[in-house]
Structure 1
Amino acid sequence: MNKVILSAALSAAISATALAQSGTNSPYSQYDLGLLSANGSGFNRGMNGLGLGFHSHNQVNYMNPASYSSLDSLSFIFDAGLSGQITNFQENSVRKNAKNGVFDYVVAGFRIAKHVGVSFGVLPYSTIGYNYSSTKNLNDRDAFPSTEVGTSTYEGKGGLHQVYLGAGWEPIKGLAIGANIGYLWGNYNRSIVTSFSNGTNSLSRYYKATINNYKLDIGAQYTIKVSQKNELSLGVTYGYGHRLGANPQCEVISSDRQTGVADTTLYEISNGLSIPTSYGAGLMFNHNNKLKIGFDYSLMQYAKLGYPKLNRNNNILQYGLVDGVYNDRQKFTAGVEFCPNDAGRKLAERIRYRIGASYATSYYKVNGIDGPKEYSVSAGFGIPVVNEWNNRSVLNISGSWVHQEVKGLIKENTFRINIGFTFNERWFAKWKVD
Structure 2
Amino acid sequence: MKKIIVSALFAGFAMQGFAQSGTNSPYSQYGLGTLATQATGFNRGMNGLAYGFHEHNQVNHMNPASYSAVDSLSFIFDAGLSLQLTNFDEGGHKVNAHNADIEYIVASFRAFKHVGVSFGLLPYSNVGYNFSNTRNVNAFPSPSSPSTTYSNTYSGDGGLHQVSLGAGWEPFKGFSFGANISYLWGTLNRYTTNSYSDSYVNTISRNYTAEIKNYKLDFGAQYTHAITKKDELTLGLTYSLGHKLNSNTECNLISTNSQTGVSDTTRYMISNAFELPHTIGIGLMWNHNNHLKIGVDYQLQKWAKILYPRLSGTGSTTTFALADGFFKDRHRLTLGGDYCRGERYRGFFDRMHYRAGVSYTSPYLKINGADGPRELSASLGVGIPIINGYNNRSILNISAEWVNQSATGLIKENMFRINVGLTFNERWFAKFKVE
TM-score band (shorter)? over 0.9
Q: 1-side partners of 2:262 and 2:73: how far apart?
A: 70
Q: Equivalent residue for 1:108?
A: 107
Q: Equivalent residue for 1:212?
A: 213
Q: Equivalent residue for 2:126?
A: 127
Q: Equivalent residue for 2:320?
A: 319
CA displacement at 1:199 relative to structure 2? 2.7
Residue pair 2:183, 2:213 contacting (<8 A) in 1 also:
yes
Q: Equivalent residue for 2:256?
A: 255
Q: What are the superposed Cα offsets for residues 121-157 of structure 1, whole Å, 9 maximum, x if unpaired? A: 100100010000123578xxxxxxxxx8531100000
Q: 2-side partners of 1:362 and 1:28: how far apart?
A: 12
Return the letter of the residue paired with 1:278: T
- 1:44 is paired with a residue whose SS is helix
Residue pair 2:269, 2:320 contacting (<8 A) in 1 also:
yes
Residue pair 2:103, 2:123 contacting (<8 A) in 1 also:
yes
Return the letter of the residue paired with 2:3: K
- 1:50 is paired with a residue whose SS is coil
Q: What are the superposed Cα offsets for residues 92-115 of structure 1, whole Å, 9 maximum, x if unpaired? A: 121110010001110000001111
Q: 2-side partners of 1:39 and 1:161: how far apart?
A: 11
CA displacement at 1:260 relative to structure 2? 3.9
Q: Equivalent residue for 1:58?
A: 57
CA displacement at 1:169 relative to structure 2? 0.3
- 2:217 pairs with 1:221: no
Which range moved further: 254-263 or 40-49? 254-263
Q: 2-side partners of 1:303 and 1:400: how far apart?
A: 28
CA displacement at 1:2 relative to structure 2? 2.1
Residue pair 1:385, 1:395 contacting (<8 A) in 2 also:
yes
Residue pair 1:39, 1:45 contacting (<8 A) in 2 also:
no
- 1:54 is paired with a residue whose SS is coil
Q: Equivalent residue for 1:7?
A: 7
Q: Equivalent residue for 2:172?
A: 172
Q: 2-side partners of 1:102 and 1:399: how far apart?
A: 15
Q: 1-side partners of 2:390 and 2:184: how far apart?
A: 38
Q: What are the superposed Cα offsets for residues 225-266 of structure 1, whole Å, 9 maximum, x if unpaired? A: 111111100000000011111101100001112344321101
- TM-score normalised over the length of structure 2: 0.95
How many aligned positions are there?
425
Q: Equivalent residue for 1:192?
A: 192
Q: 2-side partners of 1:88 and 1:61: how far apart?
A: 31
Residue pair 2:199, 2:259 contacting (<8 A) in 1 also:
no
Q: Equivalent residue for 1:398?
A: 399
1:33-432 counterparts in 2 under 5 A?
33-136=32-135, 150-200=150-200, 201-312=202-313, 316-432=317-433
- TM-score normalised over the length of structure 1: 0.96
Return the letter of the residue paired with 1:62: H
CA displacement at 1:208 relative to structure 2? 0.4
Return the letter of the residue paired with 1:178: G
CA displacement at 1:197 relative to structure 2? 4.0
Q: 1-side partners of 2:380 and 2:410: how far apart?
A: 28
Q: 2-side partners of 1:288 and 1:137: how far apart?
A: 67
- 1:274 is paired with a residue whose SS is coil
Q: 1-side partners of 2:88 and 2:398: how far apart?
A: 25
Q: 1-side partners of 2:192 and 2:315: how far apart?
A: 23
Q: CA RMSD in A?
A: 1.5
- 1:51 is paired with a residue whose SS is coil
Q: 1-side partners of 2:224 and 2:43: how far apart?
A: 19
Q: What are the superposed Cα offsets for residues 187-240 of structure 1, whole Å, 9 maximum, x if unpaired? A: 011100110242332000000001111000000000011111111000000000
Q: 1-side partners of 2:53 and 2:136: how far apart?
A: 53
- 1:32 is paired with a residue whose SS is coil
Residue pair 2:290, 2:342 contacting (<8 A) in 1 also:
no
- 1:252 is paired with a residue whose SS is strand
Q: Equivalent residue for 1:22?
A: 21
Return the letter of the residue paired with 2:358: A
Q: List structure 1 runs of 4+ shifted beyond 3 angstroms.
A: 135-138
CA displacement at 1:173 relative to structure 2? 1.4
Return the letter of the residue paired with 1:233: T
Q: 2-side partners of 1:314 and 1:4: how far apart?
A: 58
- 1:9 is paired with a residue whose SS is helix
**Aligned-residue identity in percent:** 57
Structure 1: which 5+ runs fail to align? 139-147
Q: 2-side partners of 1:387 and 1:226: how far apart?
A: 37
Q: Equivalent residue for 1:143?
A: none
Return the letter of the residue paired with 2:361: A
- 1:386 is paired with a residue whose SS is coil
Return the letter of the residue paired with 1:6: V
Q: Equivalent residue for 1:144?
A: none
Q: Equivalent residue for 1:142?
A: none
Structure 2: which 5+ runs fail to align? 138-147
